[in-house]
Amino acid sequence: MESDNYKTIKSFSEGTYKEKGSRFLASAFPVVNQDDIKPIIDRLHKEYHDARHHCYAYMIGKDRIVWRTNDDGEPSGTAGRPILGQINSFGLTNILIVVSRYFGGTLLGVSGLINAYKTAAAEAIRNAEIVERTLYEYYDIDFPYMSMNDVMKILKEEDAGQSGQSFELDCSIIINVRVSARERLIRRLSRVEGLKYRYRETK
């Protein structure tokens, strides 16, 4: 059965790490899509304008296939990848972690940088509340009043959520269903006389 659960963080959290005078401040955010990313990074650039680097990684989507890392001037592979590694270690998605570095004057070397960014990111995750979310899909359904009993029976049996009901000669309901139960529900509704459904892009 298709899974509709994923793990993410409930709200913003922070973590810090210090090494040889450098300070690494990790900021972790729950995000929904890639459009959320740039405004957050831009805000952190302004808030921590005196930081030398703002390195980040994010993971988006239940299937965890949309991701990106950015070293923001640090040696390649020493910042973004270690941050992403912690996201993967905790099995999270829909998360952005930005680590802002205040340089302390002493070079840390490749291994030192990797450890610093990894540790700061891990601290931010440990300070967050990890939650399990469920993916739902939304549909508009329209049907004649005479089919009301059949429709309501199916929605109850399939535990589908309802909103925006209009019950007249022509009835309409906005329904939501877990992704894992979507095909079965749509198949049953499709057999109802006169019923039409369409996928709803937003809630």
CATH number of the domain residue 14 falls in: 3.30.230.30
Total domains, the chain: 2
Render each residue's pLDDT in the chain as its tens digit; 203 residues.
Answer: 457 889 999 999 999 999 998 999 999 999 989 999 999 999 999 999 999 999 999 999 888 889 999 999 999 999 999 999 999 999 999 999 999 999 887 778 999 999 999 999 999 999 999 999 988 889 999 999 999 999 999 999 999 999 888 888 899 999 999 988 889 999 999 999 999 999 987 54
Q: Do 149 and 183 belong to one domain?
A: yes
- Of 117, 133, 149, the residue that ends a domain is 133
Same domain, 64 and 84: yes
Domain identity same for 18 and 82: yes
Pair 70, 166 in one domain: no
The answer to whether residues 168 and 115 belong to one domain is no
Are 129 and 144 contained in the same domain?
no
CB 29 within 8 A of CB 14: no
Which residue, of 83, 110, 133, is where some domain finishes? 133
- Name the domain boundary from 133, 160, 178: 133
Check whether residue 159 and residue 86 sit in a common domain: no
pTM confidence score? 0.78
Place of tokens 């209009």: 166
Co-location of 127 and 141 in the same domain: no
Q: Are residues 81 and 175 in the same domain?
A: no
Q: 119 and 87: one domain?
A: yes
What residues make up the domain containing 126?
A: 5-133
Residues 115 and 150 in one domain: no
Is the domain of 110 the same as that of 79? yes
Whichever domain contains 163, its CATH number is 3.30.70.240
